[in-house]
Amino acid sequence: MMSEESWYSTIIREAAEGVSATDAVNAVMPGGMAVAGAVKAAADAAVGLGAVGSWSFDREEIEAIIADWKELAEQLREDRATFSQAETASYAPSNDEPSNRFVKSLQDGLAAIEKSNKSMQEYVDGFIEKLEEAKRSIGRTDDENANALGSANVNEV
């Protein structure tokens, strides 16, 4: 697993130099987990440093990346269901003040985890949308290039 500093540095380098999409996704998903807030901070830092670059994709690579992010989205949905079940199953063993206070703090904590999970789900779903749009764009560009080459070959004959 990458340390926070190393993957943060990787994001900034990628923004400046442009790297493959697989490397970029691996940098933001150490151990299979999305680190949304830190990724945004790294991207903001790269922009603040005036870094300009791009990630390169090909069809097979972007399809694999989309599958990874969809798997992460499914894991987040499963986690959210688990949090909801835990919150529903939390009750005080007795009706005294310390027990009620403990259960209240437990439920508050679970609600905060659920809120964080929802935020991560929204981020991941948005990123998947952007990747799918990039995939469609790659397909259109490939089709346009193929058509242009086909037209050039017909005109040469």
pLDDT, residue 144, reads 76
pLDDT tens-digit readout, 39-72: 455 455 544 544 455 566 677 788 899 999 999 9
Is the full-model pTM beyond 0.75? no
**Cβ neighbours of residue 152 under 8 Å, at least 6 residues apart?**
none
pLDDT, residue 51, reads 46
pLDDT, residue 74, reads 94
Could you give the percent of the chain with pLDDT greater than 70?
59
Residue 123, judged by CB atoms within 10 A of its CB (0-12, 13-18, 19+), counts as middle
When pLDDT is averaged across residues 78-100 and rounded to a whole number, the result is 88
In the numeric block, the tokens 């835990």 are attached to 86
pLDDT at 18 over 80: no
- The CATH number assigned to the domain with range 59-148 reads 1.10.287
pLDDT at 138 over 90: no
DSSP string for 22-42: HHHHHHHSGGG---HHHHHHH
CB of 28 closer than 8 Å to CB of 2: no
> Within the chain, which residue ranges are assigned CATH 1.10.287?
59-148
Both ends of the chain: CA-CA distance in Å?
A: 57
pLDDT at 117 over 60: yes
**Burial profile 1-18: b = 16 or more Cβ within 10 angstroms, e = fewer:** ebeeeebbebbbbbbeee
pLDDT at 156 over 90: no
When pLDDT is averaged across residues 75-85 and rounded to a whole number, the result is 90
Q: Rounded CA gap, 132 and 141, in Å?
A: 14
> In the chain, how long is the greatest CA-to-CA distance?
91
